Amino acid sequence: MRLTRKRIAVGTAGAVTALLAVTGCGSEDSGEKVPATASGSLEHIASEAGCKPDMQTDADTIRQAICKTSGGKYILATFATDRGQREWLNGAKDYGGYYLVGRKWVAVGEKKTVTALRGQLGGIMEEGSEHMNPGGSHNKNPSSSSSHDSGGHTS
């Protein structure tokens, strides 16, 4: 049975606000306007970002494509469920990288590329494991330097 991607939870705005408060994101935007977070199919989100997606995976649970734009190359993935998205992110973040996260979608790429995408797609910025992002923001925060786990960040 295929799940539809058109269902939108009523509490999305509250969940996003809570996530922003917990992660401390959203208040450090230096005045930059961020649009409402994009939603829809992989093709629709890619179109909003000005990308013609090169499909790599097209399954019921995840759809993944490579996108190339003037801003850089990145991976765009959409998920059938919120849980599937969170499980994928938890595993992927162990490899470092920068993630732009929307409801049931993720864009992964270099920091400058993902930051630029946020201006088109909205979403929340997340960063992968401090062990794999030398010089990343995790390494600039003295409170995170005492962590000795292997990327087990929880949200």
Report whether pLDDT(64) > 60: yes
Report whether pLDDT(12) > 60: no
Who wins on pLDDT, 86 or 13?
86
Provide the residue count of the chain: 155
Instruction: Look at residues 128, 114, 24 and name the one whose alpha carbon lies nearest to residue 67.
Output: 114
Average of per-residue pLDDT values in the chain: 74
In sequence order, the 6+-apart residues with CB closer than 8 A to the CB of 22 are 155
Q: What is the pLDDT of residues 30-40, one digit of tens each?
A: 456 889 999 99
pTM for the complete prediction? 0.66
Asked if 16 and 123 count as a contact pair (C-beta separation under 8 A), the reply is: no
For the chain, the 3-state helix, strand and coil shares in percent, each to the nearest 5, are 35, 25, 45
Q: What is the pLDDT of residues 71-82, one digit of tens each?
A: 899 999 999 999
Specify the DSSP class assigned to residue 132. Answer: T
